[in-house]
Structure 1
Amino acid sequence: MNITRENIDELNAVLKIDIAKEDYTEKVQKVLKDYRKSANIPGFRKGHVPMGLVQKQYGKAILVDEVNKLLQENLQKYLTEEKLDVLGNPLPKDQGDLNWESDDYSFEFELGLAPKFEVDLKPKKAIKNYKIIVDDEMIENQIKTIQKQFGKLTNKQEVAAGDEVSGSFVNEEEGFEKKTTFEVDKLKGKANTSAFVGAKVDDVVTISTKGLFKEAGDYRSFLGLSEEEAKEKNLEVSFKIEEVNNRVAADLDQDLFDKLYGPGVISSVTELKEKIKEEGEGQFKQQSDQQLLNDVTEALIENTEFDLPAEFLKKWIQRSGEKELTVEQAEEEYARSEKGLRYQLIEGKVIADNKLQITFEEIKAFAKEMIKAQMAQYGQTDPADEELEGIAARILSNQDEVKRLSEQLMNKKLLDFFKENVKLEEKEVTFDTFVKEVYN
């Protein structure tokens, strides 16, 4: 067998694999002998079928199968030994009808080669690293929410501002019905609020879904529609008031503090505020870290220039699926996936150049820390290492879980690396400012 490579350019090559008769004869003959032992052909005892008949009936199929096995095995071996960094998979060139009556065969494969490039981790413009703070207004709002959550409900017959009403939004023509409970203060506009204030249990209020609530998230929570859907449909809905309750806020006393954090953990409003700030900023850190990872990704893609074997990749996309795509469909798919492919190459180089690869032991340790954190949420603050090992072993026996944990750990490694090596500019913002800057 002989394998030769012709480099068309830096990103494209053609492999030619020549297979001679002596490369496959022994394997083909062995399979034919095995077939002869088990062949069940009328007129002959099992194991006594003439080899010529076995050859005639099965010879070509076995030849094709063995040559293809030999081809794939040596193709992959060559790519590994030559350390060729290829994109996609080798594509067999169309060679017309191959003459299987011949003794020797030649096959050609197109290769798309990964580009050579360097990654500049020091962009001219620093990347914003948001630090989201919990301001006094957010703390006060959270305290009010806690007081309501742990407060006492008083049943009423008539709706007043600040009350909670229960019932169902209904539009019979559209077949729309949503049972819900919401605070009157969450309604948007004087007209909507006035429709409820003063109404009594069993009264029916008629309103429109468009512009019904102050906050976008409340549409989904209380109406079952997004804000855009509620605006677009603009349904006229009836709401029969089934129950009215006034929630009396809980006192900010030791009893409430103990319910929130356990006996004696905090003992004053000042400590409660500090705790809320600490927890809130801890939660916001996940969002700011994810945004930093997104921003660094975008910057690296924008600032790292290299060419791709585009025509090869389009052809590979066209042929690689269960169903072959049209040229136009392959073009569209390539356009959608090019950016992601570029980042995969950049990320792979950053990982390789900086030895950020992860080991199974690191994955196991990461899994145990996650298990420990989850157990702490349920009051198990000091689990035995044997217990953690057992749970981790069960999780890591699932390949999908291993893949998921590996991706999370690699993201963490990359994030830590970027924080140390990329030019960043820390910006302290409130959550509202963060949302405006990032999502608007």
Structure 2
Amino acid sequence: MNITKEQIDELNAVVKVAITKDDYQDKVEKILKDYKKQANIPGFRKGQVPMGLIKKQYGKAVLVDEVNKLLQDNLNKYLTEEKLDVLGNPLPKQQDNFDWDGDDFAFEFELGLAPDFKVPLETKKPLTHYKIVADDKMINEQVERIQKQYGKLVSKSEVGKTDEVNGTFKNEEEEIDNKTTVELDKIDSEKVVSSLVGKKVGDTVTLKTKGLFKEDYLLSSALGIPGDKAKTLDIETTFTIEEINERQPAELNQDLFDKLFGKDVVSSEKELKAKIKEDSEKQFEQQSDQKLLNDVTEYFIENTKFELPTEFLTKWIQMTGEEPLSQEQADAEYEKSEKGLRYQLIEGRIIKDNDIQIQFDELKEFAKGFIKSQMAQYGQLNPQEEELDNIAARVLGNQDEVKRLSEQLMSQKLLNLYKEKVNLKAKEVTYDNFVKEVYG
């Protein structure tokens, strides 16, 4: 067998594979002999079928199968040994006069090659790296939410301005009949609040749905209808009061602190606020880091210039899908995927140039950290190391999970590299200002 490469240009090449009879003959003969032993053909005893008949019946199919196996194995081996950075897969060239009846065969494959380029990590212009801080307003609001959440309900005879009212919304035409709890401080209209204040159990009030709550999602929950429908709903409903409660806030004492964070971790209101600030800013850091990762990605895509083998890739898209595409469809698919392909190449070059690798031990530790944070959400704050090891072993036994966690860990390694190498300017903002600035 002989494999040669003809370089068309920097991004395109043709690989030619020449296969002779000596390359496949022994394998084909062995398979046909096995067929002869097992063949069950009327008129012949098992194992006594003439080889000429076996070759006539099965020879061409076995030959084609074995040559194709030989071709694929050696082509892949050649690409690996020659360290050819191929985009997509090799595409076989059409050969109009190809003849399977000969002894020797010649095949040609088109290759699309990855471009050679550099990715300077030190950006020309500084990119903003946000530091999101929890301000006093946010911390105080969180303290109030905690006090409310852990407070106690006291039954009342009539509705007050900050009470919680259990009742049923009804509208016969829209088939609404839903029991719910309405917190008056989440109602957007002072007029509606006034219409409820002073009402007693058994009273019914008429409420308009449009602009009823401060947050849109609350209407969907209150009426028991889909969110899409709630967004545009503008009707009158009746609300019948069934129970009235005042939620008295919990005291900021050691008992509450221990419920929140474990025994003696926090011992004063000042320490509570400091802990809320620390925990909030740790969560904000994830959003800030994701924003930085997105911005660096966009910067590299926009500022790293290189050509792609567009004609080859379009042809590859056209020919390798579940169904063949028209030229117009393939062009459209290529246009949609080009940006993602460019970043895959850029990211791959950064990983290679900076020798970023993922070792199994660090993947296992990363998985354990992820598991630990998940368990903490359900109140399991101090799991045993043995328990974490066992869960991590099960998780890493799933190839889909290994792939997902590896991608997350690689993103974290890239982020650390960008923080060290990319030209960044720090900007401290509150969470509200971050949302306004980033999302508009």
Q: Same fold (TM over 0.5)?
A: yes
Percent of pairs identical after alignment?
Answer: 63
Give the secondary structure class of the aligned counterpart of 1:212: coil
Query: What is the identity, as a one-letter code, of the residue corresponding to 1:151?
Result: G
Alignment deviations for residues 64-98 of structure 1 (CA, whole Å, 9 cap, x no partner): 11111111111101110110101111112222463
- Greater CA drift, 340-349 or 325-334: 325-334
Give 2:120's aligned residue: 120
- Greater CA drift, 58-67 or 165-174: 165-174
Does the 8 Å CA contact 2:2/2:17 hold for their aligned counterparts? yes
Provide runs of 4+ in structure 1 moved above 6 Å. 224-228
Query: Per the alignment, do residues 227 and 134 of structure 1 end up closer, same or farther by CA in structure 2, a change over 3 Å counting?
Result: farther
Query: What is the identity, as a one-letter code, of the residue corresponding to 2:347?
Result: E
Does the 8 Å CA contact 1:216/1:226 hold for their aligned counterparts? no
Query: Per the alignment, do residues 91 and 274 of structure 1 end up closer, same or farther by CA in structure 2, a change over 3 Å counting?
Result: same
Aligned length in residues: 439
Give 1:69's aligned residue: 69
Q: How many Å separate the matches in 1 of 2:314 and 2:169?
A: 51
Give the secondary structure class of the aligned counterpart of 1:247: strand
Query: What is the identity, as a one-letter code, of the residue corresponding to 2:133?
Result: I
Give the secondary structure class of the aligned counterpart of 2:9: coil
Alignment of 1:425-436 (within 5 A): 425-436=425-436
- Greater CA drift, 430-439 or 311-320: 311-320
Query: Per the alignment, do residues 180 and 11 of structure 1 end up closer, same or farther by CA in structure 2, a change over 3 Å counting?
Result: farther
Give 1:249's aligned residue: 249
The answer to whether structure 1 residue 26 and structure 2 residue 26 are counterparts is yes
Q: How many Å separate the matches in 1 of 2:108 and 2:423?
A: 47
Give the secondary structure class of the aligned counterpart of 2:332: helix
- Greater CA drift, 111-120 or 221-230: 221-230
Does the 8 Å CA contact 1:158/1:199 hold for their aligned counterparts? yes
Does the 8 Å CA contact 1:209/1:231 hold for their aligned counterparts? no
Tell me by how many angstroms 1:125 deviates.
Answer: 1.8
Query: What is the identity, as a one-letter code, of the residue corresponding to 1:307?
Result: E
The answer to whether structure 1 residue 346 and structure 2 residue 346 are counterparts is yes
Give the secondary structure class of the aligned counterpart of 2:147: helix
Does the 8 Å CA contact 2:220/2:230 hold for their aligned counterparts? no
Alignment deviations for residues 386-431 of structure 1 (CA, whole Å, 9 cap, x no partner): 4443332222111111111111111111111110000111111111
Tell me by how many angstroms 1:290 deviates.
Answer: 1.1
Query: Per the alignment, do residues 332 and 361 of structure 1 end up closer, same or farther by CA in structure 2, a change over 3 Å counting?
Result: same
Gaps of 5+ in 1: none
Give 2:98's aligned residue: 98
Give the secondary structure class of the aligned counterpart of 1:13: strand
Does the 8 Å CA contact 2:87/2:114 hold for their aligned counterparts? yes
- Greater CA drift, 52-61 or 238-247: 238-247
Query: What is the identity, as a one-letter code, of the residue corresponding to 1:351?
Result: I
Q: How many Å separate the matches in 2 of 1:291 and 1:224?
A: 35
Give 1:187's aligned residue: 187
Give 2:403's aligned residue: 403
Q: How many Å separate the matches in 1 of 2:292 and 2:315?
A: 35
Does the 8 Å CA contact 2:130/2:428 hold for their aligned counterparts? yes
Q: TM-score, normalised by structure 1?
A: 0.91
Tell me by how many angstroms 1:114 deviates.
Answer: 0.6
- Greater CA drift, 318-327 or 46-55: 318-327
Q: How many Å separate the matches in 2 of 1:394 and 1:357?
A: 23
Give 2:382's aligned residue: 381
Does the 8 Å CA contact 1:205/1:238 hold for their aligned counterparts? yes
- Greater CA drift, 47-56 or 5-14: 5-14
Query: Per the alignment, do residues 182 and 110 of structure 1 end up closer, same or farther by CA in structure 2, a change over 3 Å counting?
Result: farther
Q: How many Å separate the matches in 1 of 2:101 and 2:25?
A: 13
Q: How many Å separate the matches in 2 of 1:242 and 1:96?
A: 83
Query: Per the alignment, do residues 399 and 135 of structure 1 end up closer, same or farther by CA in structure 2, a change over 3 Å counting?
Result: same
Alignment of 1:261-340 (within 5 A): 261-340=261-340
Query: What is the identity, as a one-letter code, of the residue corresponding to 1:383?
Result: Q
The answer to whether structure 1 residue 129 and structure 2 residue 129 are counterparts is yes
Tell me by how many angstroms 1:350 deviates.
Answer: 0.6
Tell me by how many angstroms 1:260 deviates.
Answer: 1.6
Give 2:421's aligned residue: 421
Q: TM-score, normalised by structure 2?
A: 0.91
Give 1:40's aligned residue: 40
Gaps of 5+ in 2: none
The answer to whether structure 1 residue 153 and structure 2 residue 160 are counterparts is no
